Amino acid sequence: MRIKTDMKQLLVLMMTVLFLGACSDKDAINEYDKPALHWYENIVKEVANINLDRADNLYISLKSEHARSPLLPTATMLLANAHMEDQAYIMADYYLDEYLKKYAAGSRVEQAKFLKIKAAFLGIKDVNKEQKLMMDTLLEVEKFVKVYPNSIYLPVVSTVKVRLHMSQYLLNQNVASLYDRLGKDKAAEIYNNKNAHSPLNMADIKAPEIGFVDAILK
């Protein structure tokens, strides 16, 4: 009798697990073929809850099921800004690229390009390791200033430009000093010459008391 009881309990347990699994599968399947507004509202909800991984997945569903939805541009920019607030600058840049390629027009192009510069700038954490990103960002800044000379974002972009030049100047100075200490005069001269052609000079720069990268990027 005990064996029969144990077998019966085991059977009930197995049936319960299978039932719950089936319910979970059913719930997952029910998350397909939803209206665009359903996906969008849930994206907004997850962004508000700072659950950006979930929001990203919902965005994929919105984009897959409703590629022509007028809600997509807003959702794309929403996630770009949300990831920037979360300091996930690579993800922010991804959404901004998506926005520029598919949805931006008129002043929205200018705004998205500005946000890309902002994301790239804030994403520079170590100029020693991210010199290419820094130089690429400077190039984008130069393009932006040329294309949008009267932009409302120009004061911020100009500040970014100066700070990037300051970072480059101090980096060159540090490298030149290192080569001087090592007795490599020619190598030091190369970096000193770079600073000689910089739009800044040392009189423009106050050496920070804390780490120079942290000071400049703040």
User: Using one digit for the tens of pLDDT, what is the confidence trace for 128-182?
Assistant: 788 889 989 999 999 999 999 999 999 999 999 989 988 888 887 888 888 888 8
Query: Cα(80)–Cα(73) distance, rounded to whole angstroms?
Result: 11
For residue 74, give the nearest of 33, 50, 39, 49 by alpha carbon: 39
- pLDDT at residue number 85: 96
- Which residue, chain included where needed, has tokens 């299978």? 18
Helix (H) or strand (E) holding 104: none
**6 compared with 128, residue with greater pLDDT:** 128
Query: Cα(39)–Cα(99) distance, rounded to whole angstroms?
Result: 18
Query: Cα(170)–Cα(210) distance, rounded to whole angstroms?
Result: 13
- pLDDT at residue number 28: 36
Question: Given pLDDT bands bounded at 50, 70 and 90, which one contains residue 27?
Answer: very low
pLDDT at 215 over 80: no
Q: pTM for the full model?
A: 0.74
Q: Output the CA–CA distances (angstroms, integers) from residue 3 to 6, 10, 12, in the order listed.
A: 5, 10, 14
Percent of the chain with pLDDT over 90: 54
Query: Cα(66)–Cα(69) distance, rounded to whole angstroms?
Result: 5
Mean pLDDT, to the nearest integer, of 27-48?
Answer: 83
Mean pLDDT, to the nearest integer, of 75-103?
Answer: 97
